[in-house]
């Protein structure tokens, strides 16, 4: 894979709505800082374990109190800002739970939320990051071997070594300071994360596979399809489960019985659509099959539509009811147009 192909993949990865907002290693540093806080602030008369706060207003009261403690700034600085970052992250988590009227709040759920919560980057920022990686290393004063388009570096371990050398270069702070909103440092972090991602590694594997002349073409095609499909669908499923939690129609909560159903089928979707969480619902196995086979669908308002091929006498057997409607956003509504036109059996 050459640097241009790698750059295009990086842009695709940054554009993907399944891009993680936080690395597991970062989360570990947050939890480590929390444990240290129990000793540092042991003389306070309020609860220090943030996971015992289930209500946003109560946590915000704690947050205000702890920030006023004379040891707070020094402690947070000694932990590289991890403690404050954790508190802000947990505040955002509780805020989202409150907005969605979600009653299940726990440490385990927060950790899952922090790692699996997804977002895509603004296109203008993606371009800035890519441009930084292509050009800013040339301004380094030391390490002539790193004065290159950083997309030349093709594996995570090599890049981590290079990143350390870049960050200790005496000109790094100046370069970063003059980059758009100090984005050079952020670009390095994102590229390191990209090179270690399943997204990149799976495509690198497929690329090597395709170029292997000893493997039959039909076998190559099947392996490529399987690898990319499983990687993508695994991320998609985790995101859908995190968002919807149970079957949107019958509310079965057992994960092993749930399916992340694509509205526009995987085979008919673009790479972007395949990973778009708006192109999916969480349904139980029963309702997933009905939806997949076009025996049920929904209009733009989320109102259930049942195929005329199903006898009304069987509605109860199939756990179907006229009141089984969904809350559908605008993007899901657009995918549902495709489903009604191409999949639904009227």
Question: What SS3 state is found at 326?
Answer: coil
pLDDT tens, position by position, 134-176? 999 888 887 788 888 899 998 888 898 888 889 888 889 999 8
- Mean pLDDT on 33-41: 94
Whether residue 209 has pLDDT greater than 60:
no
Strands 258-262, 280-284: pairing is antiparallel
**pLDDT surpasses 80 at 225:** no
34-39: long-range contacts (C-beta < 8 A, 24 or more apart)? 34/83, 34/86, 36/75, 36/79, 36/83, 37/75, 37/83
Smallest CA-to-CA distance from 343 within 294, 287, 299 is with 294
Higher per-residue confidence, 100 vs 308: 308
* Statement: residue 230 has pLDDT above 60: no
What percentage of the chain carries pLDDT values higher than 70?
83
CA 124, CA 211: separation in Å to the nearest integer? 34
pLDDT at residue 48 is higher than 90: yes
Quote the pLDDT of residue 272: 72
For residue 74, the model assigns a pLDDT of 93
Point out the least confidently predicted range of 17-31, 283-297, 326-340.
17-31
The winner for highest mean pLDDT among 112-121, 151-160, 267-276, 302-311 is 302-311
Predicted local distance difference test score (pLDDT) of residue 63? 94
Question: Which residues have C-beta within 8 Å of that of residue 109, sequence separation ≥ 6?
Answer: none
Q: What per-residue confidence (pLDDT) applies to 284?
A: 92
Q: What is the pLDDT of residues 105-132, one digit of tens each?
A: 778 777 767 765 555 567 888 899 999 9
In 3D space, the residue among 238, 245, 236, 241 whose CA is nearest the CA of residue 102 turns out to be 245
Beta strands 296-298 and 304-306: pairing type?
Answer: antiparallel
Q: Is 104 a residue whose pLDDT tops 70?
A: no
The Cβ of residue 259 has, within 10 Å, a number of other Cβ atoms equal to: 21
User: Is 306 strand, coil or helix?
Assistant: strand
Query: Which of 22-26, 69-73, 330-334 reaches the highest mean pLDDT?
Result: 69-73
Which DSSP string corresponds to 152-170?
A: G--SHHHHHHHHHHHHHST
């Amino acid at each position: 894979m050459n640097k241009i192909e790698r750059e295009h993949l990086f842009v695709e990865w940054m554009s993907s709505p399944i891009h993680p907002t936080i690395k597991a290693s970062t989360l570990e540093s947050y939890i480590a800082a929390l444990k240290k806080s129990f000793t540092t602030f042991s003389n306070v008369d309020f609860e220090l374990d943030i996971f015992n706060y289930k209500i946003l207003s109560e946590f915000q009261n704690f947050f205000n109190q702890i920030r006023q403690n004379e040891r707070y700034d020094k402690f947070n600085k000694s932990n590289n800002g991890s403690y404050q970052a954790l508190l802000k992250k947990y505040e955002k988590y509780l805020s989202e739970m409150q907005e969605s009227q979600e009653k299940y709040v726990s440490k385990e759920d927060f950790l899952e939320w922090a790692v699996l919560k997804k977002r895509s980057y603004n296109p203008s920022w993606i371009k800035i990051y890519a441009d930084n990686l292509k050009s800013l290393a040339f301004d380094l004063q030391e390490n002539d071997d790193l004065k290159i388009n950083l997309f030349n570096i093709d594996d995570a371990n090599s890049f981590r070594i290079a990143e350390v050398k870049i960050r200790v270069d005496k000109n790094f702070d100046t370069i970063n300071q003059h980059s758009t909103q100090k984005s050079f440092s952020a670009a390095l972090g994102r590229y390191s994360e990209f090179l270690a991602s399943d997204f990149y590694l799976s495509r690198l594997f497929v690329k090597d596979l395709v170029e292997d002349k000893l493997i039959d073409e039909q076998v190559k095609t099947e392996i490529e399809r399987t690898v990319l499909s499983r990687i993508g669908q695994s991320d998609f499923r985790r995101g859908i489960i995190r968002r919807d939690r149970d079957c949107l129609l019958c509310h079965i909560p057992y994960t092993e019985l749930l399916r992340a159903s694509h509205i526009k089928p995987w085979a008919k979707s673009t790479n972007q659509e395949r990973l778009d969480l708006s192109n999916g619902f969480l349904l139980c196995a029963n309702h997933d099959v009905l939806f997949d086979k076009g025996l049920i669908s929904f209009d733009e308002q989320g109102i259930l539509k049942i195929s005329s091929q199903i006898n009304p006498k069987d509605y109860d057997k199939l756990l179907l009811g006229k009141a089984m409607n969904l809350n559908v956003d605008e993007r899901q509504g657009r995918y549902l147009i495709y489903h009604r036109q191409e999949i639904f059996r009227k």
